[in-house]
Amino acid sequence: MEVSRREFLRVATSAGGASAIGGLVGLGLSLAPARARAQELRIRDAKTVPSICPFCSVGCATLIHVKDQKIVNIEGDPRSPHNEGTLCPKGAAIYQLHMNPNRSTRVLHRKPGAKNWEMVELNWAMDRLATLIKQTRDDTFIERLPNGKVVNMTPAIFALGGATLDNEFNHVCQKFWRGLGVVAIENQARI
């Protein structure tokens, strides 16, 4: 196997650096102060806002650090009796949920039979959803079963909440859908 000079230098440098750090750690040198200093620099002059993780019903406490109206860091709140400052893998990804450049920020609509999506106004999309929900409910609403029992339900609508919805929003959603007569209500966080 032939190794180029550049490849040899890259591997040797990486191995040497790893050995040096490993040796320092082996001698008892802790990198924790350097990590803490780096974290302190990132959140210096940031406003800390307490919040909760949106991913499940546990409600782990978080601290959101905001600087110049922009989120710069999210971490677990050590004062919380639920999580004592720790977060699960989903909770640790909250920052990406908010700051992901690939996050959708526009309403897209694809007409029936169309091949492409088009951008539409939010108000138009909300009106369209309301119209379709009302039409479906009116067309499929069951007031009474054949035996006369009152059920006031619609079997044609299924509501599925997402894992990023918090408990309060899910509670309001549940009341909204039940008020319309929807009985098939589920949440991704529970599935």
- Among residues 156, 154, 150, the alpha carbon closest in space to that of 179 is found at 154
DSSP 8-state code for residue 45:
T
The H or E element that residue 71 is part of is strand 70-76
Whether 40 has a pLDDT exceeding 70, the answer reads: no
Classify residue 164 by its DSSP letter.
T
Distance CA 47, CA 30 (A): 29
Q: What is this structure's pTM?
A: 0.57
| Helical ranges in 51-153 per DSSP H | 89-92, 94-99, 122-140
pLDDT per residue over 121-165, tens digit each? Answer: 999 999 999 999 999 999 999 999 999 999 999 999 999 887 667
**pLDDT recorded at residue 99:** 83
Residue type, 69: Q
pLDDT exceeds cutoff 90 at 79: yes
Give the rounded percent of residues in the chain with a pLDDT score beyond 90.
Answer: 43
Could you tell me how many residues make up the chain?
Answer: 191
Mean pLDDT of 96-123: 90
Residue 135: is it exposed, middle or buried by C-beta count within 10 angstroms (0-12/13-18/19+)? Answer: exposed
